[in-house]
Structure 1
């Protein structure tokens, strides 16, 4: 049962979804790029979403290209008292994607929630000197895998009577960032978010997107402590974002509480995109810590 189902008539009219603290109870979620990165670094976005979804009552399919990484996240889910299955393969390959979705649907008893989180930062730089193989790799994984995942999961969402798709994007899609294919692929994902919301809204399928700011994650850890410090100071809040700060809005957007929200891009970026860069520099001048 998808968590957007109507509340029992015995509850007040403002009630949405299951009991508080179990906001995704009954959901069956397919989360891509959800494997645990080796080496004991920061938790990844997809990994955090998978764990928190399960803690909120969803059954979760942890999709990753690496078996050990997928199994590690499944272990985290079970340690948190949740239920998960691992599906392994290259989601940018059409047949492998179809197989992974089929295995997930069988393991979960259906799919009604989808999170497209898998991504790489390949293909950066000017078109003059960008590595075209890396460009193609980024487009294939960041954009192509999301398209294939939607292609193969939407029939399951239809069978469930509706559901939610959440695309994980980046503020790199909205401003000059020097990230080349990463920015282009994420901007394209935003266009697809709105298009899918239009195409499938009357089927009860909601499609939304989170634009991640400078959060500390395996991808956001690139560049070392100095880069992390500069990234933290790009926003309005004094703290550095973590993957959990993305996972909580993801819970909301896939829950019954967001049952009338579709086609939106939600920045989760400590206010970075809401403010002119020069204004942020003024804050940093006043508070150099």
Structure 2
């Protein structure tokens, strides 16, 4: 454990596994008090136990973060338990089926946009009054290479992550004078448990597979993505605002 972020209160969404779990653990190691938010209650509780066992401080809230009542519960629990809300990490997300626009049905579109874009919008809106009252705060989003290019995912996921990039830039401009920073990481392919249920024979997955396979480097780790998130949230990045940082072994440079 270190004292780099001692006393800071951090909410991490999608924190039961993958990048979210690694991020929650990294913040706890840096001395922050963490609220682990995830749809998977058992997974969230397991991360809390892991943090507690290492001498850190954490609580869990389970639920669907696209539900405004769950959002209110997450924010209320963080403020009630820790007295403040200093950092929000909007990490929770799902993949689409790599479907091209013409192959994307309403259900796929609405589910991906709801979880990847609407949920972080709702949660950020809910934490803003607390950050504004404190005169400071940091919001870090997990965007994606698909938020920077058109050939990294299907239509729904690509649109959702481009939307996340827009939220980051709007937040950075609108609230910098109030001491609030907004940034994002744009992960390249990373070893997590996220699944892609591509439709057999569909045009989108076949084309994206060729594009991605020709340009990516090695797979990243969840811990490498988490390190970038913690940096962006920390005082070391105090003058970094409105940035979408590729964490991708140079994929975005190809």
Scaled by the length of structure 1, the TM-score of the pair is 0.79
Q: Given the alignment of the two structures, is residue 211 of structure 1 paired with residue 167 of structure 2, yes or no?
A: no
Q: 1:64 — aligned with what?
A: 38
CA displacement 1:1-28 (0-9 Å, x = unmatched): xxxxxxxxxxxxxxxxxxx943212210
1:246 aligned onto 2:221: no
| Counterpart mapping for 1:29-178 below 5 A | 29-36=10-17, 44-122=18-96, 124-175=98-149, 176-178=151-153
Structure 1's 203 and 119: CA in aligned 2 closer, same or farther, altered over 3 A? same
Aligned residues: 243
How far apart are the structure 2 equivalents of 1:233 and 1:49?
A: 29
The structure-2 alpha-carbon separation of the partners of 1:231 and 1:73, relative to structure 1 and needing over 3 Å to count, comes to: farther
CA contact (8 A) 1:61 1:108 kept: no
Partner SS state of residue 60, structure 2: strand
Of the structure 1 ranges 123-132 and 261-270, higher mean CA displacement relative to structure 2 is found in: 123-132
- Of residues 229, 246, 253, the one that matches 1:267 is 246
Q: CA RMSD in A?
A: 2.3
Select 1:191's aligned residue among 154, 157, 166: 166
- Gap regions ≥5 residues in structure 1: 1-19, 37-43, 276-289
Q: Alpha-carbon deviations, 1:57-106, whole Å to 9, x = none?
A: 10000001121111011112122221101011111011221122111221
SS of 2:103's partner is: coil
Aligned-pair CA distance for 1:161: 2.3
Go from structure 1 to structure 2 and tell me whether the alpha carbon gap of 1:151 and 1:203 turns closer, same or farther (over 3 Å shift): same
**Cα distance in 2 between the residues matched to 1:188 and 1:144:** 9
Contact 2:152 2:212 in 1 (8 A): no
Q: How much has 1:222 moved relative to structure 2?
A: 7.9
SS of structure 1 residue aligned to 2:190: coil
Runs of 4 or more off by more than 4 Å in structure 1?
220-223, 230-233
| Structure with the higher helix share, 1 or 2 | 2
TM-score normalised over the length of structure 2: 0.89
Contact 2:9–2:78 (8 Å) recurs in 1: no
- Equivalents in 1 of 2:197, 2:110: separation in Å? 21
Secondary structure class of the residue paired with 2:102: coil
Q: CA deviation at 1:147?
A: 0.3
User: Does the CA-based 8 Å contact 2:146-2:152 persist in structure 1?
Assistant: yes
